[in-house]
Structure 1
Amino acid sequence: MLVGSGTIACDCLNEIVRYVNGSNIHVMEIVESSLSFLKEQCKKNSVEYIPCLRENILEHFMRYTKEGEILIISANNEYIFPAELVKQENVTIINFHYSLLPAYRGVNIPTWVIYNEEKYTGVTWHYATDQIDHGKIIAQKEIEITESTTAFDIVRKGMKIGNILFVDFIKELLNGEKMGYDVEYSVDSKLFRKSILPQGGVLDLTDTAHNIQKLLRAYDYHGSNVIPPLKTKIKDQLWQVVRYEIREQKDTELPEMDFMENDLIVNKDGGKIHIVLRKV
């Protein structure tokens, strides 16, 4: 079974059908939009596609656990597998995660690693347990973070690397080979939750240019709705960040901050940031 969405879920499916007959593969996706590339990929490969709501996805899983040994592959999926499913003896679950576990468990990790000014992050395939983002590591690889890296860059690179790693181990896993190694998960390790975002999702224009740029990059998912758009306040009016452009050189002819209609220029600390805004 495959549960997830996006490019990496499609890539995983394309690899699985090389070794497993399409009639023995079931794909589940939590439906949040009418457009699904995964649905099209299932149709192309003659694989059952099951659109689910969050509240009834467990019901679908439990139905298939009665059919013998089940491998569940979680790729770009935010559904938290409950203990009643994970602890079943005939169920094995592997999960794709956007960090180098055991560090950075939880969600929105590309945002947090940029905000925390990490030099590296990465991706991990691991066995799932009844704890979030815990379990033996199957494979992982680093991703470098530079001064220009955005959250979208990490997601895009992560999906490519995740698929490469998956191709390397999936045949052996399907053949029943034991793999993976233990890592130490600290009891008090931080779990990043969806409801908590850096600076509460608000851009402080009095901050340094470095910190403004960092927050813009941390929230930049190339227009997708992974997290709510960054907001800022100007003269008691709340604005939403639509797009931005960062330039290295400060414009000596402009003031530190210039705002006209929906265009904001932040011009300080040796750099210039052009931000296009929309009223909230």
Structure 2
Amino acid sequence: MRFSEGIVVGKGSLKFKIALLLKNKGLPVTILEHDLRSSAKEPCAFNGIPHHFFHKEALYDRLKQVGHGALIISAINTYLLPADIVSAHTIINYHNALLPRHPGLNAEAWQIYDMDPYAGITWHYVDSHIDTGDIIVQEKFLLDNRITSIKLLKRQNALAYRCFEDFADKLLWCDLPGAKQADHPGRRLHYLKDAPNNRLLELTWTAPKVSAFLRAMDYGPLHLLGIPTVTVKNKNFRCESYQISESGQNRGTALQDNRLYIENNGLKIIVFLSEFSPVQYSADLKSSAVSEK
């Protein structure tokens, strides 16, 4: 085996499934994460996998203590690893988009918002930049024009694990080469603070674009990107929920009883609204950003 130990850094169920697979293949493995709400503690204890919580700086300090010859796997990890850690170890990362498109965070939302024909996943080696390392494997699938961000993310995570299963033995026992990423003009890096169109629904959009925007912002009750907003007749509204159906009518846009109706290009969309104060909404966003840290 090429590595002395495995370190899985990330959050969600994917990190545990990867760690368990590595353990079952004979590699001593530890999970390091920063999500105190994680449900991985009990299954890790049951399966004999060391599991530790760290805040950002403490996590970096712990990684600097990892011995030479370790394999570090970044799976749904929102922290950038310092250059000295990257240069000292073999590190691979799961990215939920088809790099070089949509580097950075919340890629599932950007694929939907940009109305990409395909979505997919990438496993790649980590280098000194963000999501630019050599590609180990990519898989793509047609992007359903009704899927939401939360559902796309779940599908991508499942696909990422299946791909990891396929190449794990080569990674552990052989030299697994990567392919250089293609150049992508206009490459834009998405940060944690970014959201499609700054969370604002535009009344000039077609119904398919409104659908893409609403679905991109849709993480169910999690509201990872905040709550979308719209301004109609100088009034500011939150988009609390929505309904999308097919339609052969072209009735334009109308506001009635705190419902926004948009009907054109084969779709009818009803957006359920609540009026709000922009000052309060800005305060809510700042509070949400602090809680994410």
* Aligned mate of 1:156, from 136, 139, 154: 154
CA distance in 2, matches of 1:9, 1:217: 26
Q: Which position in structure 1 is the counterpart of 2:175?
A: 178
Percentage identity across paired residues of the two chains? 27
Alignment partner of 2:188 out of 167, 187, 190: 190
CA–CA distance in structure 2, aligned partners of residues 245 and 10 of structure 1? 35
> 1:2 maps to which residue?
8
Q: Is the 8 A contact 1:120 1:145 kept in 2?
A: yes
Q: Which amino acid aligns with 2:87?
A: K
CA contact (8 A) 1:107 1:192 kept: yes
Alignment CA distance shift 1:276-1:25 (3 Å): same
TM-score by length of 2: 0.82
Deviations 1:231-254 (A, max 9, x none): 2224444333232110112689x9
Q: Deviations over 1:97-128 (max 9, x none)?
A: 01122332212222222222211121011111
Q: Which runs of 5+ in 1 are unaligned?
A: none
Deviation of residue 96 (structure 1)? 0.2
Q: What is the 5 A alignment of 1:71-220? A: 71-88=71-88, 91-175=89-173, 177-186=174-183, 189-220=187-218
Aligned to 2:61: 59
**Which of residues 1, 20, 26 in structure 2 aligns to 1:20?**
26
What is the Cα deviation at residue 164 of structure 1? 0.4
Aligned residue runs from structure 1 range 26-65, under 5 A: 26-31=30-35, 34-64=36-66
Q: 1:135 to 1:143 in 2, by over 3 A?
A: same
Please state how far the C-alpha of 1:148 moved relative to its aligned partner.
Answer: 1.6
Code of the aligned partner of 1:260:
D
Q: Which runs of 4+ in 1 moved over 6 A?
A: none
**1:227 pairs with one of 218, 225, 228:** 225
Q: Give the conservation status (yes or no) of the 8 Å contact 1:123–1:158.
A: yes
Q: Using the alignment, how far apart are the partners of 1:250 and 1:172 within structure 2?
A: 52
Tell me, yes or no, if the aligned pair for 2:262 and 2:270 is still in contact at 8 Å: yes
Q: Is the 8 A contact 1:143 1:154 kept in 2?
A: no
Amino acid at match of 2:45: K
The alignment partner of 2:221 has SS state of: coil
Give structure 2 stretches of 5+ with no counterpart: 1-6, 277-293
Q: How far apart are the structure 1 equivalents of 2:31 and 2:46?
A: 13
Task: Indicate conservation of the 8 Å contact 2:247/2:264, yes or no.
Answer: no
Which residue of 2 is the match for residue 265 of structure 1? 261
Shift of 1:209: 1.6
Is contact 2:97-2:120 (8 Å) kept? yes
> What SS does the corresponding residue of 1:190 show, helix, strand or coil?
coil
Displacement after TM superposition at 1:269 (Å): 4.7
> How many residues end up aligned between the 2 structures?
269
Could you say what secondary structure the match of 1:167 adopts?
Answer: helix
Q: In structure 2, what residue type is equivalent to 1:30?
A: H
SS of residue matched to 2:24? coil
RMSD, aligned CA: 2.4
Q: CA deviation at 1:279?
A: 4.4
In structure 1, what residue type is equivalent to 2:269?
I
Residue 30 of structure 2 aligns to which amino acid in structure 1?
H
Q: How far, CA to CA, are the matches of 1:260 and 1:193 in structure 2?
A: 36
